[in-house]
Chain A
Amino acid sequence: MIMEEVEDPITKMIQPQQPYTGQIFQPTQTFTPTTPQPFYGNSFEDEPPLLEELGINFDHIWQKTLTVLHPLKVADGSIMNETDLAGPMVFCLAFGATLLLAGKIQFGYVYGISAIGCLGMFCLLNLMSMTGVSFGCVASVLGYCLLPMILLSSFAVIFSLQGMVGIILTAGIIGWCSFSASKIFISALAMEGQQLLVAYPCALLYGVFALISVF
């Protein structure tokens, strides 16, 4: 909530410092303490924009998506500073939806495997890195890197993945997902010489997702 300050020269002299810089000047006030003001009426125009307050920053979401989609692009370590679970939620639902299109109603498996996988990666990364990592950050990164898997499962709607082409495509997509996930983790946690070590458990996790899409 905002506190207005009236610049009064007398009180300015009394208080030597002025922590309220940039405050507005309210000349006439009518204070009625007994009327509870509705919240929206108080400072509707003073609130920050809704998306900012909710913490959804479209620019960052787009940046993170691009980082996932370009496996060779160098990741910026600071983009993971705010954990954003809106994007991953959307990707998980999209994955479940494409599976549904192929006739597999397996939302429960997707949810269970992602929960267990995130927990496992959280424990592993906390033990392997110098700085710790929060669970939200792990869930966010793993969720973003699920994007190529959605491509795989949408491909599986039309063509069956059980031939040689399907196996090669599956292996390629798993590699893509785990490579970008490990790239983001490495840059965010400043771990050196451990990219393959982080990529391997990610590959196991995405391999299980691929198993669900293929079979």
Chain B
Amino acid sequence: MHPAGSAAGTPRQRKWPSKRRIPVSHLGMADPHQLFDDTSSAQSQGYGAQRGPSGLGYPTASASPQAAFLADPVSNMAMAYGSSLAAQGKELVDKNIDRFIPVTKLKYYFAVDTLYVGKKLGLLFFPYLHQDWEVQYQQDTPVAPRFDVNAPDLYIPAMAFITYVLVAGLALGTQDRFSPDLLGLQASSALAWLTLEVLAILLSLYLVTVNTDLTTIDLVAFLGYKYVGMIGGILMGLLFGKIGYYLVLGWCCMSIFVFMIRTLRLKILAEAAAEGVPVRGARNQLRMYLTMAVAAAQPLLMYWLTFHLVR
């Protein structure tokens, strides 16, 4: 092996013929023609102290770099190959995951803290006294949810969805209808309804030709807020029976209706006012109907996804 190449490799991948070994009595820098110092044995510095007292009386120790290569070439190469495969695989995942899941955009929606979550949950159950629904902007980008309670986030919808699935399992368990695959069934049916809703709203936004900065992820976030009310309804239904369920569900339906109207109005209808375009009655009315339809769909879905869980 070329000395320069060996220096760049692992300490063991060195092959010195014996005739070089005997006259030049130190390893590692044996070849005066070597272009650069071989510092690969710096890795073994930690072992040097341990080796010191035990170095003598050790006929094979000096042979270690050379013999070790012969003894361990396969395991070394296998290790190097395996670690390079793993690194390659990880690189591949990292490169391609950005194509399917926009990770940095998602990080914005998870930049939350406990205070924000508390305030948002309060808003979801009681939106009637909140005055200012506008999201604050900071140089063209909306501020993180941490700093503005009006910004949408994905932490609450994600947690609410998982909690809904678990609470549904609990509810089915108390009625002795539980089996683990039912959990999966509940989860996939709720997810399917969510996807359907998102697609329907996107389609209608496209048909009404609304110029809005409402992204898909924003929409998923807004549509996920109804799971909080659903969880409340199911828990009350478990504790207090059908009366409790209907009361709490009714309250949550009203609250989410008002919440959605007030939030979406700013997103869908504000463009008309902001652009300064003379407001054409029909177009604005169409947008208003769209907002009302989206908001009205929420209570319906809340009832549809929970009524079979409470007996």
Binding site for B on A (CB under 8 A): 1-8, 11, 14-15, 17, 19-26, 29-33, 35-39, 41-43, 45-48, 109, 120, 124, 127-128, 192-197, 200-201, 204, 207-208, 211, 215
Query: B interface, by DSSP: helix, strand, loop or mixed?
Result: helix
Given known contacts A1-B64, A4-B55, A5-B28, A39 and B72 CB-to-CB distance under 8 angstroms: yes
Cβ of A215: which chain B residues have Cβ within 8 Å of it? 173
Complex alpha-carbon distance, A215 and B173, angstroms: 10
Given A32-B67, A42-B68, 8 new contacts (CB under 8 A): A23-B48, A30-B63, A33-B70, A37-B68, A37-B71, A38-B71, A48-B47, A194-B113
Q: Are B113 and A197 in contact (CB under 8 A)?
A: yes
Pair B62/A43 contact, Cβ less than 8 Å:
no
Are B49 and A29 in contact (CB-based, < 8 A)? no
- Residues of chain A with a CB closer than 8 A to B41's CB: 2-3, 5, 19-20, 23
Interface residues of B (CB under 8 A from A): 11-12, 14, 17-18, 21-22, 24-29, 32, 37-42, 44-52, 54-56, 58-68, 70-72, 103, 106-107, 109-115, 117, 155, 158-159, 162-163, 166, 170, 173, 180
A32 to B28, alpha carbons, bound, how many Å?
18
Is A32 a contact of B63 with CB atoms below 8 Å?
Answer: yes
Q: Which one of A4, A6, A208 has the highest number of Cβ atoms from chain B below 10 Å of its Cβ? A: A4
Number of A-B contacts (CB under 8 A): 175
Q: How far is the CA of A11 from the CA of B40 in the complex (A)?
A: 18
**From A4, A46, A201, contact of B62 by CB (8 A):** A4
Docked Cα-Cα span, A200 to B44, in Å, equals 46
A21 to B166, Cβ gap below 8 A? no
A200 to B155, CA, bound (A): 11
Q: In the docked arrangement, what's the CA distance between A36 and B32, Å?
A: 28
- Bound CA span A101–B25, Å: 66
> Which label, helix, strand, loop or mixed, suits the secondary structure of the A interface?
loop
